[in-house]
Amino acid sequence: MNRALVLSLASAAVLAAAGCYREVIRTFDIRVPQMKTQAAADVVERTIRIFDTNIVVAVKTDPARQVVSVTYNSERAARRNFEQALVLAGFDANDLSADPARKAQLPPEMQ
């Protein structure tokens, strides 16, 4: 092969490899019925922020609406991961119900 062709193919391979990974930042809401107070919102936010900062971009809680909005890198985690984390902490999350034993470990105002 001639040198120009080899350089062209090498350059194309480098550019293709660099373009393979991209961040896809998404936001979605999780309904958390037990999040009625700021104290509950703080626990919910801490639970979501357990994820690496390369995954979670932002967390916004709204106790009045009982909703937490999560902005995250969807190439590194799925929505269900956040819902599962809340369920494991004792909270209901969207269509998932917390284990009754874990829910019972929450303060009474969060059950």
For the chain, give the mean pLDDT.
Answer: 85
Structural domains of the chain in order of their starting residue, each with its CATH number? 23-110 (3.30.70.100)
**Does the pLDDT value for residue 3 go beyond 70?**
no
DSSP 99: P
Least confident of 2-11, 32-41, 45-54, 99-108: 2-11
Going by their DSSP bridges, the two strands 25-31 and 56-62 should be labelled as unpaired
Say yes or no to pLDDT of 94 above 70.
Answer: yes
- Looking up tokens 């019925």 gives 33
Q: Kindly report whether the global pTM for this prediction surpasses the value 0.85.
A: no
Write down the H helix ranges in 49-99: 79-88
Contacts with 5 (C-beta within 8 Å, 6 or more apart), sequence order: none
Phi, psi of 12 (to 5 degrees): -65, -40
pLDDT tens-digit map of 13-56 = 444 444 555 679 999 999 999 999 999 999 999 999 999 888 99
User: Which token pair is 71?
Assistant: 């902005």
Of the candidates 81, 77, 93, which has an alpha carbon nearest to the alpha carbon of residue 25?
77
Does 62 have pLDDT greater than 50?
A: yes
Of 6-10, 25-29, 89-93, the one with minimum mean pLDDT is 6-10
